[in-house]
Amino acid sequence: MPTTAHRDPRRRQVVAIVAGLVLAALVLGVPDCSNDPTLAPWHTQALTEEFTADMAGEQVRTLQDYLDLEERLFRELDEQIVRKTPTGAEFALERYSRDSLASPSRWPRDWNRTFELDADAPIGGVLLLHGMSDSPYSLRALGEALNRAGYLVLGLRLPGHGTAPSGLRSVTWQDMAAAVRLATTHLADRLGDSPLHIIGYSTGGPLALDVTLEALEDGAKAVPASLVLVSPAIRVHPASALARFKDALSVLPGLEDLAYLAVMSEFDPFNYNSFATNAGAQVHALTRDVDRRIRTLVQEPAKARAFPPVLALKSTVDATVTTEAIVDNLLKRLPGPRNELVLFDINRHAAIASSLLVADPAPLTDRLMAEERLPFAVTFVTNESPESAKVVARYKAPFSPQTSSTRPLDLVWPSGMVSLSHVALAFPPDDPLYGRGPADSGDRIFLGDMALRGERGLVRIPADWLLRQRYNPFYPYLEARVLQWLEARSES
């Protein structure tokens, strides 16, 4: 006798969908909750005062409207989560516990919020766009350097960020893009004829590309004078497309943990350690949309030529985004010769045996430095020789078949450091949170070079988190290059 499922086509359809969702969940994997298997209020509490794209033009017309809403949002965060989080030794490293060493309140400024650094008679303006699960703190040092150089700087807090990981469970990339449009309009109005530049880190990269493409497509909006993309998320793994199916399963009883790809203690005051499944789905959708529009753009030579110059900076090893994506999906498509890729190599000092590496990025970098007719410049920051920890910058001009110049940088690899990472580039060695030495103030957490030793599984901070490089020993070079880039593009 046929079952009910076989008799009812709609039920068969539902069964197929559920089976597909379960398969997607299995493909993506169950979140690693080994450090904190229980979802806390900051993982589940939805905050209602967050900006969404449908507010733009109605409830939120200006950046000041956005800031007013942001103020209400942080009051709600305090009322709904911070005041309800216990204090004491058990919560000493929990950012939502008011007395915690990880509380943002211990800092002179809460860098989770949007910030604006004003300038008298600014020579230009810079919009800073942080990455997914991040906060405006990630580009703080660069923003302060640019402000000292005479730029009006706006570090935007993207919707869903700076508050609680639960903010990433419902945010869309369109929400973030709408906030970026508000910020660019604000800066353009303040700057008048002075140039506007955008610096995007990680997911901030495709958001910078999105608002630029919109300006070119619209024809009436000001196009940025240049873009600086730090570890930009140009393309993510195709499997991330399944994240939305996994997220859909999280509404079912007993599967709430599927709302997160990772769940950890929140000991970082300016970054979520837990990562919502929806966040991965939104990065995938954003990068797909930007990729489609860039492919359309290059079919219209006049618009392609109007695309602003791009400076991309990246570590050759990056667990989040690939160098190939930046080269093939972006820089090779844009008309030359105005763009440049700066790559930071691994430490090739003889003391680091190549047999220790899982994968050596040398084949790609060797190809880029030898490939003829590349329409963009390449600067390769690497050891001056395998016998030395000193680094040099090897420069290859656009359309050149070989290295054009080699310049010593008066910088060296610190002892024991193998490479940079996706998260390291924009943080200087003296960063008070992620730098090479503990901050002067002992009343707040330090997450830089920590040498914690003991039995595995003892501490709540995972070993792979501790091993990841958090600051850039070559930050002075990166900062100088960004300043030179903006100055040159402001004058052109």
Report pTM: 0.90
Whether 214 is in a domain gets the answer yes
Residue 44 structure tokens:
């589940």
CATH number, position 217: 3.40.50.1820
Residue 475 structure tokens:
């930050």
Confidence (pLDDT) at 437:
78
Q: Confirm if 155 and 139 have CB atoms less than 8 A apart.
A: yes
Kindly provide the residue ranges of all beta strands, DSSP E only, lying in 384-452, ordered along the sequence. 390-396, 405-412
Confidence (pLDDT) at 218:
86
Whether 17 is in a domain gets the answer no
Confidence (pLDDT) at 452:
67
φ/ψ bin of 290: left (φ > 0), alpha (ψ from -120 to 50), beta (otherwise): alpha
For residue 42, the SS3 value is: helix
Q: Radius of gyration (Cα) for the chain, nearest Å? A: 23
Three-point CA angle 191, 195, 199, nearest 5°: 105
Q: Confirm if 56 and 286 have CB atoms less than 8 A apart.
A: no
Annotate 466-481 with DSSP letters as a single string. HHS--S-TTHHHHHHH
Verify cis geometry, omega within 30 degrees of 0, for the bond prior to 361.
Answer: no
Q: Confirm if 206 and 234 have CB atoms less than 8 A apart.
A: yes
Strand 310-315 vs strand 226-230: parallel, antiparallel, or unpaired?
parallel
Residue the block writes with tokens 């707040």: 444
Residue 490 structure tokens:
């402001």
Whether 11 is in a domain gets the answer no
φ/ψ bin of 384: left (φ > 0), alpha (ψ from -120 to 50), beta (otherwise): alpha
For residue 68, the SS3 value is: helix
Torsion angle of alpha carbons 103, 106, 107, 113, nearest 10°? 40
Whether 80 is in a domain gets the answer yes
Whether 2 is in a domain gets the answer no
Confidence (pLDDT) at 360:
87
Distance CA 224, CA 311 (A): 13
Spacing of C-alpha 220 from chain mean position: 29
Which of 280, 285, 237 shows the shortest CA–CA distance to 258? 280
Which of 84, 92, 285 shows the shortest CA–CA distance to 203? 285
Q: Residue 426 to residues 146, 177, 205, 269, 364: CA-CA distances in angstroms? A: 13, 22, 14, 17, 23
Count up the domains in the chain and report the number: 1
Kindly provide the residue ranges of all beta strands, DSSP E only, lying in 263-322, ordered along the sequence. 275-276, 310-315
Q: Confirm if 305 and 335 have CB atoms less than 8 A apart.
A: yes
Give the domain range for residue 167: 29-491
Distance CA 436, CA 417 (A): 11
Confidence (pLDDT) at 333:
95
Whether 15 is in a domain gets the answer no
Which of 368, 308, 380, 305 shows the shortest CA–CA distance to 342? 380
For residue 314, the SS3 value is: strand
Whether 10 is in a domain gets the answer no
Q: Confirm if 58 and 66 have CB atoms less than 8 A apart.
A: no
Per residue of the chain (492 residues), what is the pLDDT tens digit? 434 444 454 444 444 444 444 444 443 443 343 344 589 999 999 999 999 999 998 899 999 999 999 999 999 999 999 999 999 888 888 999 998 999 999 999 999 999 999 999 999 999 999 999 999 999 999 999 999 999 999 999 999 999 999 999 999 999 999 999 999 999 999 999 999 999 999 999 999 999 999 999 987 678 999 999 999 999 876 666 666 666 666 666 666 677 898 899 999 999 999 999 999 999 999 999 999 999 999 999 988 999 999 999 999 999 888 899 999 999 999 988 999 999 999 998 855 656 677 788 889 999 999 998 899 999 999 999 988 999 999 999 999 989 999 999 999 999 888 999 999 999 999 999 999 876 565 688 888 877 666 666 666 777 777 778 899 999 999 999 999 999 998 776
Residue 408 structure tokens:
């010593």
Whether 308 is in a domain gets the answer yes
Three-point CA angle 180, 183, 186, nearest 5°: 150
Spacing of C-alpha 144 from chain mean position: 18
